[in-house]
Structure 1
Amino acid sequence: MSQPRRTPRRRAWTALTLPVLLCALAACSGGGTLAGSAAGSGARTPSASPTPSGPPGTLFDDFRYSGPDDPSLGEHGWEVRTGGGGPGIKDTWSAAGASFPSDSTAQGGRVLQLQSSTDGTKQGTRQVEVQTTGTPLFTGTFAARVYLSDEPAAGRGGDHVVETFFPISAADSSANYSELDYEYLPNGGWGAPGPQLDTTSWFKADPPDRVTHALKKQRLEGWHIMMVTFMDGKVTYSLDGKNLFTSSGKYVPREKMDMHFSNWFIDLPFTGGSRTWNMKVNWFYYKAGEAVSHADVQKTVAGFYSAGTSFINTVPKS
């Protein structure tokens, strides 16, 4: 069943990292490639290895950063949200929930961790979101290896948490508003029981106009490869290589989008006791203008790891 639209997002973002001349000269002009950076405490070994799938039109990141204040994070086109607005518990966005720990279950051993927490009050709630900025994404293949949680990392379960992966327009008020959602609700929400994985293609945010598919009663805790392919007037969502849902007609993107990962609360169903919820992202891969199969995504990403390529961006800037 289609869920109500999230509270329209007021894009009040604060970039926690400052782009430096290396970005401006090497990566941010003409869709250049930056495969590693020595800037900041999260320095990584530069790699001159070519992308296995070949430029242009490739974005890949395996999130080897020291923290949300690592200069490399901003150089590579990512922001951590600290501004106001929704969805969920408004004005509770915090950079504290974004970290990049080691993880023995992750490919390459590192992840982006999105940790949201609450004690059931607005004052005690912290939500987290990380997005791309400055790299327009449109037709092609979006893929991420994401860890979904059914239980909190600490505290009592039962929160109406939403673990999400989605490309979206820069402004909800855009005349060509576009959004493609994966939303995992381990405990349900909006009056529906969980677990549930919603895949939703939007035409308009306000009033809500979208088509959606719900994968119900399947607990999905663990690692999954989530993919969205937008080609030839169709959007297809697939989970671990299995197609879930296809939209077409007016329910396809009409303008370029940013990539978001978010972990937030629909509401606060109970108070008492602090609890934390973790969502993790192992890597993100985008290939412009191509429908890449699940197997070829895995092969390409394995090639990046084998070559020592932690980051590459050859997507044209316009």
Structure 2
Amino acid sequence: MSQPRRTPRRRAWTALTLPALLCVLAACSGGPAGVASASKDRPSASPTLAGPPGTLFDDFHYSGPDDPALDANGWEVRTGGGGPGIKDTWSAAGASFPSDTTAQGGRALQLQSSTDGTKQGTRQVEIQTTGTPLFTGTYAARVHLSDKPSSGRNGDHVVETFFPISASDSSENYSELDFEYLPNGGWGSPGPQLDTVSWFKADPPDRVNSALKKQRLEGWHIMMITFVDGKATYSLDGKDLFTSTGKYVPREKMDMHFSNWFIDLPFTGGARTWDMKVNWFYHKAGEAVSQADVLKTVEGFYGAGTHHINTVPKS
């Protein structure tokens, strides 16, 4: 059952340069009332981005992991060392933003991990927010899970995951909330299995969890975590799965991560590739938002052509 992320963390947020700021404006090509959009008439110096307060939204409308707008909008594709899974195999090459007819808006973030059963032939992938710590409120994403590899032999112990986490595993107030889908199981448990895990401490591990077992989840799903009033509640497609309370709720602000990685390498011989996709991510600070209202808000952003908005305080 699960393991702490062990991510070597992490570069600090830096002030936006003018080119990066223009990328932010380009990403916000329109919006509902109160949402700023790029305009030829907008002055280039010290522009103000307005929008619904305490809101972070992104529909991953980028050209690739080296798109300047990705960095400007507060995302980073991991390339460092460490775990979890097969240590030191993180690569930006697995992140892309292809057109997808099944995705809302026709585009999604694709996280593609691959292996031939050796460490040298393994590539894991993860993307995270930077510079906008998140705490109480609603975390929601439309995520496509895979039950089998897109190419190659099945059988890998892959983890497709969505989780907010502290900036440091060694923090005294370490916080982490996990959705982890294991189509082939792992850690001695057969799959398929969707774990929901709330952490108090990474080392030694101190956590509580629940598991949705024997349900194959291939396809698109709305994954949500609401953390308000001392309770962290996980839901899938509008159905509550697990609630943690007491010491098993976040105690400090966190970064948002999406990751696709391997627990171990159960067999060698033949390359195989696993895909996970993220259509959009939405966070509303300080409020428990229903799935219906999340979807209504997201639909409004898509209808207005708004690709990114961030009005969450940076501290």
Taking structure 2 as the reference length, the TM-score comes to 0.91
Letter of the 1:233 partner, please give it.
G
The 1-side partners of 2:225 and 2:311 are apart by 19
> Pairwise mapping of residues 211-290 of structure 1 onto structure 2 (< 5 A)?
211-290=208-287
The 2-side partners of 1:255 and 1:46 are apart by 33
Q: Which residue of 2 aligns with 1:58?
A: 55
The 2-side partners of 1:228 and 1:240 are apart by 11
RMSD of aligned Cα (Å):
2.1
> Pairwise mapping of residues 1-318 of structure 1 onto structure 2 (< 5 A)?
3-6=1-4, 8-11=6-9, 19-21=16-18, 23=20, 34=24, 36-37=25-26, 44=27, 46-47=29-30, 49-50=32-33, 55-318=52-315
The 2-side partners of 1:45 and 1:58 are apart by 14
User: For structure 2, which runs of at least 5 residues remain unmatched after alignment?
Assistant: 36-50
Letter of the 2:221 partner, please give it.
H
Contact residue 12 and residue 130 of structure 2 kept, 8 A: no
Letter of the 1:9 partner, please give it.
T
Contact residue 14 and residue 81 of structure 1 kept, 8 A: no
Please state whether the residue corresponding to 1:213 is helix, strand or coil.
Answer: strand
The 1-side partners of 2:251 and 2:19 are apart by 32
The 2-side partners of 1:225 and 1:51 are apart by 26
What's the CA shift for 1:13? Answer: 6.3
Please state whether the residue corresponding to 1:193 is helix, strand or coil.
Answer: coil
The 2-side partners of 1:113 and 1:195 are apart by 21
Same amino acid, percent of matched pairs: 78
What's the CA shift for 1:47? Answer: 1.8
Contact residue 49 and residue 307 of structure 1 kept, 8 A: yes
Contact residue 161 and residue 266 of structure 1 kept, 8 A: yes
State the aligned residue count: 301
Contact residue 4 and residue 208 of structure 1 kept, 8 A: no
Contact residue 231 and residue 291 of structure 1 kept, 8 A: yes
Q: Which residue of 2 aligns with 1:40?
A: none
The 1-side partners of 2:246 and 2:264 are apart by 33
Contact residue 20 and residue 68 of structure 2 kept, 8 A: no
The 1-side partners of 2:15 and 2:279 are apart by 24
The 2-side partners of 1:138 and 1:49 are apart by 25
What's the CA shift for 1:46? Answer: 2.2
1:86-144 Cα offsets, whole Å, 9 max, x none, are 00000000000000000000000000000000000000000000000000100000000
Q: 1:18 to 1:74 in 2, by over 3 A?
A: farther
1:3-46 Cα offsets, whole Å, 9 max, x none, are 1524633226699x99532556x89xxxxxx5x42xxxxxx572
Taking structure 1 as the reference length, the TM-score comes to 0.90
User: For structure 1, which runs of at least 5 residues remain unmatched after alignment?
Assistant: 28-33, 38-43
The 2-side partners of 1:212 and 1:48 are apart by 38
Contact residue 13 and residue 82 of structure 1 kept, 8 A: no
The 2-side partners of 1:215 and 1:9 are apart by 26
Letter of the 2:105 partner, please give it.
G
1:265-286 Cα offsets, whole Å, 9 max, x none, are 0000000000000000000000
The 2-side partners of 1:88 and 1:13 are apart by 22
Please state whether the residue corresponding to 1:131 is helix, strand or coil.
Answer: strand
Q: 1:278 to 1:19 in 2, by over 3 A?
A: farther
Please state whether the residue corresponding to 2:128 is helix, strand or coil.
Answer: strand
The 1-side partners of 2:82 and 2:60 are apart by 26
Q: 1:306 to 1:19 in 2, by over 3 A?
A: same
What's the CA shift for 1:207? Answer: 0.5
What's the CA shift for 1:50? Answer: 3.5
Please state whether the residue corresponding to 2:152 is helix, strand or coil.
Answer: coil
Please state whether the residue corresponding to 2:199 is helix, strand or coil.
Answer: strand
The 1-side partners of 2:167 and 2:34 are apart by 28
